[in-house]
Amino acid sequence: MEKSGGGVEKVKKYYIRTFGCQMNVNDSQKIAGILKSLGYEPANHWQEADLILVNTCSVREKPDQKVLSALGEFKKVKNKNPDAVIGVCGCLAQRAGYELLQKAPFVDMVFGTTNIHNLPQLLKEAERGNKAVEIIEEIDERETELDRYPTVRDNKYTAYITVIRGCDKRCTYCIVPYTRGKERSRRIGEILQEVQWLVEDGVKEIHLIGQNVTAYGKDLGDVKFYQLLYAVSQVEGVERIRFTTGHPKDLDEDTIKAMAEIPQVCEYLHLPIQAGSDRILKAMDRGYTQKEYLEKIELLKKYIPDIALSTDIIVGFPGETYQDYLETIKVLKEVEYDQVFAFKYSPRPGTPAAELSQTEDGETVSRWLSDLINLQKEITFKKNKEYQDKTVEVLVEEEKEGKFVGRTRTNKLVHIDSGHNLLGEIVKVKINRVNRFSLEGEAVKVISEEAQLW
Ligand code: SF4
């Protein structure tokens, strides 16, 4: 807080624009926690902000342009408020922070992925009118200081918890190991403490996240991911547990058994395959073959017959032929995922794959991608139709346009009609309409109260 001209205390406001994955979302929630502890409040619009932060991503296509165009817009905040601070953080800041400063010299603050805990000092520096820059290649040993801050979340009932940072894999297309560093698992006691805080704050669903969450504990040596699942399930008040992203190679039978045995672990898993062809999987250095991946899927379906699955796919990796692409299509048909996140390959500067030349032209790859998406739309619709007239459990997360909205344990979006306030409740819902990307139904019972609604 600072005194304005008339002596009235003016509360400073922040605005954060987040690009990219859930790790970035969670980092932004932690940044908001730090800012809250410094007396900042969220701004409704960037034009009202005293601090604008852009949390960047390096994984998807043309991130530099997207960030630069956002910064170009945010620069206007200084017309009205010359003291406003503009900052950039996240993977792109880590990889190309100094370049960004050259392209956008009005940026006041840049910090890397392991320097977030230093935000209070950086902010002080920027507020004095200096350029505040901290991008270090090595992992900052003090990064765990970040864990002490609470997250500021939009969603009151579900919360992310980062359990592992970085990644030891070296998928040839991926920039993450270079921007986020090697795997660092958080101590189990610290994670459980955070789970406890969240439950006390009203959270019902805990979502454990990491670039490679199934590698949790490898660097600690005395604990494995499945043990973390059991430990989290023992915290009173945890009603649901999810986790992403698991690497197929690190998903072991102990974890799958734990998923089946622990009542709170939801029947849903995102297991990226990226490509169906063994040749392309090898070129990507994914560490498994199609057969090995499908064996994991078989094991999951054996232990958890009603599991819903989703995956990531890259179409048009360098060297991919039509025959290779057909192997991916084959996997889609065989697994019948509930959801697929498919992207056209685009090179990331600094990765080994960026040195490889493209085999197919862009138009052909776009056609493959569009055919794949159309096929998956049909599969998703078919899977959704299985819900018609079924009664499912939904955690209601928000109210939107007169309907309550939540997710099933299998991660399906459900719109619910009810005259009762269902926010934050776990409810039985009878599905009476199935859409391509969501379900609709009516609430028949609030499970938390075990009371019939009518
Ligand atoms: S597992 Fe591969 S794709 Fe995932 S973060 Fe690590 S290197 Fe990137």
Q: Which ligand 1 atom minimizes the distance to the CA of 245?
A: 4
What is the DSSP secondary structure assignment for residue 399, as one 8-state letter? E
Per-residue pLDDT at 63: 65
The answer to whether 163 touches 171, Cβ cutoff 8 Å, is no
308 strand-pairing partners: 268
Residue 225 counted as domain residue: no
Residue 11 counted as domain residue: yes
Closest CA to 383 of 438, 450, 443: 438
Candidate from 23, 58, 165, 167 with most ligand 1 atoms within 8 A of CB, to mutate: 167
HSE-up (13 A, CA, CB side) for residue 439: 29
Tell me how far apart the alpha carbons of residues 123 and 155 are, in angstroms, rounded to a whole number: 27
Residue 98 counted as domain residue: yes
Closest residue by Cα to atom 2, ligand 1, is 171
**Do residues 131 and 84 share a domain?**
yes
- Reading the chain (454 residues) residue by residue, the pLDDT tens digits are 555 455 567 899 999 999 988 889 999 999 999 999 999 999 999 999 999 999 998 776 666 778 889 999 999 999 989 999 999 999 889 888 888 888 999 999 999 888 899 999 999 999 988 888 888 777 777 888 888 888 898 889 999 999 999 999 999 999 888 888 999 999 999 999 999 999 999 999 999 999 999 999 999 988 999 999 999 999 999 999 999 999 999 999 999 999 999 999 999 999 999 999 999 999 999 999 999 999 999 999 999 999 999 999 999 999 999 999 999 999 999 999 999 999 999 888 889 999 998 778 889 999 999 999 999 999 999 999 999 999 999 999 999 988 999 999 999 999 999 888 999 999 999 999 999 999 999 998 777 654 444 4
The length of the chain is 454
pTM summary value: 0.89
3-state secondary structure (DSSP) of residue 217? coil
Structural domain count, the chain: 3
Domain boundary among 361, 385, 409: 385
Domain boundary among 120, 140, 160: 140
Q: Which ligand 1 atom minimizes the distance to the CA of 211?
A: 5
Closest residue by Cα to atom 1, ligand 1, is 169
**Do residues 371 and 425 share a domain?**
no
The rounded Cα 194 to chain-centroid distance in angstroms is: 18
Residue 296 counted as domain residue: no
**Do residues 134 and 67 share a domain?**
yes
**Do residues 445 and 339 share a domain?**
no
Residue-range definition of the domain harbouring residue 112: 2-140
CATH code of the domain in which 337 resides: 3.30.750.200
Candidate from 176, 178, 282 with most ligand 1 atoms within 8 A of CB, to mutate: 176
**Do residues 417 and 321 share a domain?**
no
Tell me how far apart the alpha carbons of residues 324 and 314 are, in angstroms, rounded to a whole number: 12
Tokens of 135: 């991008």
CATH code of the domain in which 64 resides: 3.40.50.12160
The answer to whether 55 touches 31, Cβ cutoff 8 Å, is yes
CA 169 to ligand 1 center in whole angstroms: 6
State the residue for tokens 């057969």: 291
**Do residues 381 and 400 share a domain?**
no
Residue 44 counted as domain residue: yes
**Do residues 313 and 335 share a domain?**
yes
State the residue for tokens 């900042």: 40
Residue 407 counted as domain residue: yes
Name all residues whose Cβ lies below 6 A of ligand 1.
Answer: 167, 169, 171, 174, 176-177, 211-212, 247
Residue 134 counted as domain residue: yes
Residue 109 counted as domain residue: yes
Domain boundary among 119, 140, 161: 140
Closest CA to 414 of 435, 384, 386, 439: 439
R_g over Cα of the chain:
23
CA 300 to ligand 1 center in whole angstroms: 21
Q: Are strands 240-244 and 205-209 parallel, antiparallel or unpaired?
A: parallel
CA 354 to ligand 1 center in whole angstroms: 15
Tell me how far apart the alpha carbons of residues 188 and 324 are, in angstroms, rounded to a whole number: 42
**Do residues 123 and 43 share a domain?**
yes
